[in-house]
Structure 1
C-alpha cells in the first residue's frame, strides 16, 4: 500500500464483545439472542487462542455506539470482516516483523474483502468517540524536521502531473499492483489526492480501488506534508517528506510515516511519469534514500505496472 491504503484495519472478533454487556440485549428479540449466542461462541474461541485483542470502553460504546454495534451483528459482511480479522490476529506472537507486516497484510485483505458501510459506521463511531484501542505497534519513523531533502519540494510538485508508483518500501501498503496517484487543487486551501490501485481479495481475485482524500494546503516553507483522512472508518494521520526529484521531472522520491490509533507504519514510494523506469535512473534514487535516510534501496519492491493495468495517467 502506498501510504494511504487501508492501513491498520485490525478489528478482531473481540471488537464486538461489548454487545454481550449491552443493557437489555439478552431480553431482545430472537434475532438479537441468536446473534448474542453466535458472538459468545466466537469470543470463547478467541479467548482460548490467547491472541491479543482491542480494548473496548463499554461505557463509551453503550453511550455512543449501540446502534452501529447492533447493525453489525445483523450484517453478514460486518460479522465476516471481524471473523476474518480475528483469524489474522491469532498469529500475532508469531509475526516477528518490525511492523507486524504479516498481521497487517492479513487484516488488510479482510477489510478489502468484506468491509462495507455498516462496518465503516461501526469503526467510525468507535474511533471518533475513543471507545477502542488496539494492541500497539511501536512508532519506527526515520524522518523528522531535521532531515535535509536533496531538493525543496512541495505539494505543487506532486500536482504538476499524474504519476505511476514504480517502487515501494512497505511490502504491505506500497507494493499493490497498478498504482497511480493524482493531485488536483480544489481551491486555495484544499487539494484532492486521488490514489488508484488494485488489491487482492481473500478469494484471490483483484479489485480496483479509487479514493479521494482531501489534503489541506501546507504552510509556506514546510518541510513535509501533513494530513488526516478516514479509511474504512479509521482515522489516519500521515506525514510525507518529499526527498528528491529528477531534473527532467521523470521521477520523485518520497518517504512517509503515519498511524491509526496505536498502530504505526512507515514506507516510501518512488513516483514516475511512466509505468516503469529504466535502470539508469535508480542510481540517483538509491543515493537519495541512502544519503537522506540511510535506507537501503535494495529493500524496495518493484510495483507491477504492466500493460494489463488500467491506463489512468
Structure 2
C-alpha cells in the first residue's frame, strides 16, 4: 500500500455524518476506505470495532494492521476495556486522532513528529494542522472526512506520501508574490481598494489551508464582483502566478445509462434528457439533493440546459440561491459550454467562474422513462486554483423528492456513482421567489427546447 491507516469505531455507534438517514460509524469508515482508493488505489484503510478488540482472533488481525500503520483514527469508542487494549497496541503508531470517544483516548491524540495534539508545547504547524483537522471533523460531511484523512496522510505518513489533490494547500513562497505584483499590479490595486473585493480577499485569507474548496467557494459566492473576477483571471488563469495545476479525477467513474425507453442511448437522446422539462417549465430540472459539500448544498438550484445556435452546440446555466456570509440572500448564475464526449451520456463541461476556468466531466447515470427524476454525476478541476472535486445531483421537475417507489433504483444509481444515500445534502427549495431564469437569446437556438423528450410527448 502507498499509505496504511487503521480506524477503530464503537460497535453500533451512530455516525454524525448521516443527515436524513441513520448510519453507523463502521459503515461510514468502510465507505471512506473505498473513497480513499478513488484518490490513490494504494491508500488502505482497515476498519475495526471495539468488539473486535475484545475477540482474541480479531485482536491478532488488528495488531498486525496496527504494526504496519502510521495513522490510527478512532471514533465513537467509549468502552474502557477496549480503550485500554487500543492504547496498549497502538503506542508505537506516530499519529493517533480520536473523536467523540472516551477521554483517555482523546488524551492520546498525537500528530506524527509534531508532539502531542493536546500538548501545550505544540509547534505552530501542529497547532495549524490540529485546528484544521478539528474544523473538518466539525462540519460532519463525508467530503470533509475524506479531506481529514488525506490531510493526515499528506502531513504525517512516514513514507512521505504527498497527496496530489492537496497541492493547492502548499505555500507558494515569495516568488509567487513577486509574479503577482509584476503581472497583475493594477488588478491587485483595484481589488484591495474596493470594499466588496477586499472583503472577498479577507474572507479567502481566513480559510484554513486544508479547507480551500468549501470555505473559499463560500467566500467567492458571497462577495463576487467584476473586480474579483479581474483579480482572479489575471493572477490565476492568465499568468498562473501561484504555479498550481490539477487534473479531473479519474475515479469514481460511473458508466452512463446504456438505454432509455427500450432503445440504446444516443447523443441526441442524452442531450434531450439534459434539456428535460424546459419548455413545459422555465427550467430543465430542479436539484433536490447533492453530494458535494461545496457546490451541491445551495438552496433553490435550477438547471437550464439548452441547445445553441451552432450545430451540436449546447449550454448549461445553473441558477442558485446563496445565503451570504453577511446574511444577504442573493441569486447567482453560471454559464457552461457543453460538448459531447465519446460515449453517449457523457459530456465535457467548461465554465469561467469568477475568473477561473473549471473543466468537468459529466455522466447521465440514470433517468426513468417518465423523467420523474434524474441522477447526474460529475468530476472536475479548476486547474489554475489547484482544486479538484467530484459530486452528483439528484433532480426532479418540481424540486420535490421522488416517489418512495423509486428509492431502490435511486440508491442503486448512487452507489454506482461511488455515493451512499446518507451522504446527500437535501436542497432547501422552500423559498425560491425571484429566481433569474430564462434562456439567453444570444446563445440559444430559436427553440432551445425543440428536442425535449417532455415536449415531444405533449406535442
TM > 0.5 between the two? yes
Higher relative contact order (CA 8 A, sep 6+): 1
Q: Which SS does the other structure have where 2:214 is aligned?
A: helix
Q: 1:63 offset after TM fit, Å?
A: 4.7
Render the CA deviation track for 1:128-148: whole Å, top value 9, x for unaligned.
2222245x899755334x835
Q: 1:150 offset after TM fit, Å?
A: 4.9
Q: Distance in 2 between the 1:54 and 1:272 partners? A: 43
Q: 1:212 offset after TM fit, Å?
A: 2.7
Q: Distance in 2 between the 1:207 and 1:137 partners? A: 30
1:119 aligns with 2:228: yes
Partner of 2:186: 67
Partner of 1:160: 276
Q: Distance in 2 between the 1:138 and 1:257 partners? A: 10
Unmatched tracts of structure 1, length 5 or more: 1-45, 93-99
- After superposition, residues 95-134 of structure 1 pair within 5 angstroms as 100=211, 103-126=212-235, 127-133=237-243
CA contact (8 A) 1:109 1:200 kept: no
Partner of 1:278: 403
Kindly tell me: are residues 203 and 62 of structure 1, through their superposed partners in 2, closer, same or farther at Cα, counting changes over 3 Å?
Answer: closer
Partner of 2:393: 269
Q: Distance in 1 between the 2:240 and 2:185 partners? A: 14
Q: Which SS does the other structure have where 2:213 is aligned?
A: helix
1:147 aligns with 2:255: yes
- After superposition, residues 184-263 of structure 1 pair within 5 angstroms as 184-187=306-309, 188-215=311-338, 217-219=339-341, 221-261=343-383, 262-263=386-387
Render the CA deviation track for 1:18-39: whole Å, top value 9, x for unaligned.
xxxxxxxxxxxxxxxxxxxxxx
Kindly tell me: are residues 227 and 148 of structure 1, through their superposed partners in 2, closer, same or farther at Cα, counting changes over 3 Å?
Answer: closer
CA contact (8 A) 2:276 2:371 kept: no
Q: Distance in 2 between the 1:138 and 1:185 partners? A: 28
Partner of 2:59: none
Q: RMSD between aligned alpha carbons?
A: 3.0
Worse-matched range after superposition: 265-274 or 303-312: 303-312
Q: Distance in 2 between the 1:186 and 1:220 partners? A: 20
CA contact (8 A) 2:287 2:303 kept: yes
Q: Distance in 1 between the 2:425 and 2:308 partners? A: 33
CA contact (8 A) 1:178 1:310 kept: no
TM-score by length of 1: 0.71
Q: 1:177 offset after TM fit, Å?
A: 1.0
Unmatched tracts of structure 2, length 5 or more: 1-123, 130-168, 260-264, 278-283, 439-459
CA contact (8 A) 2:315 2:335 kept: yes
1:287 aligns with 2:412: yes
Q: Distance in 2 between the 1:58 and 1:88 partners? A: 19
Give the greater-gyration-radius structure (CA).
2
TM-score by length of 2: 0.50
Render the CA deviation track for 1:257-291: whole Å, top value 9, x for unaligned.
0111211111000121122123222221111122x
Worse-matched range after superposition: 153-162 or 115-124: 153-162
Kindly tell me: are residues 85 and 61 of structure 1, through their superposed partners in 2, closer, same or farther at Cα, counting changes over 3 Å?
Answer: closer
Worse-matched range after superposition: 242-251 or 64-73: 64-73
Render the CA deviation track for 1:175-214: whole Å, top value 9, x for unaligned.
2111111111122142221111111211223212223323
